[in-house]
Amino acid sequence: MIIEYLMCSLVYPLRNALMYKHALQMALKDPLTGVNNRVAMDSTLQREVELANRYGTPLSLSALDVDYFKRINDSDGHATGDCVLKAVAAAAVSSIRSTDIIFRFGGEEFIILLSNTAEEGAMCLAERIRQRIQAAKYICNEAMIAATASLGVACLGKGENVHSLFSRADQALYRAKSEGRNCVKLA
């Protein structure tokens, strides 16, 4: 009976701690795609920009938007749209390095944080992601769906803050969309 009591004294707190850790992790993940969500993005971006500014290391940000996503939702349905989002996120995740972090910003837009990465590396990685998304054929609800993505890349300038870095990546993304889509543009 004493051993059972001691086991319960150890097991229940451990189980509660594990459940708490899992709940915290789930609060920072997008439930559809499994990548980090916007809440995780806000704190991570702030920390990484501060670190890059303090130590003078390069930092890049890439904004990704699935091209013509509304058309996919409208013609094939939201379940197919969800399937495409999951597949695009998986393609992006498989293209990045273990030190890079991907976030679902909202809708069909993703943000990729590239620590210790300057302009050339960021553009190369963004192009690799774009090519992988374009090359993949997604089977969703028994239909073959093709998808492409537009990406905008911005590199942190000396003393720059999160808002201006994000804004420049977003502007580069919208330039990519306005200049034909399925391409990468640098801020």
Residues classed as catalytic: 108
What is the Cα–Cα distance from 87 to 33, expressed in whole angstroms?
Answer: 8
> What's at 2, amino acid-wise?
I
What are the DSSP E strand ranges found in 97-163? 101-106, 109-115, 137-140, 143-146, 149-155
CA quadruple 82, 88, 90, 93: dihedral sign: negative
What is the Cα–Cα distance from 179 to 24, expressed in whole angstroms?
Answer: 40
Q: Is 62 exposed, middle or buried (0-12, 13-18, 19+ CB in 10 A)?
A: buried
What is the Cα–Cα distance from 133 to 181, expressed in whole angstroms?
Answer: 13
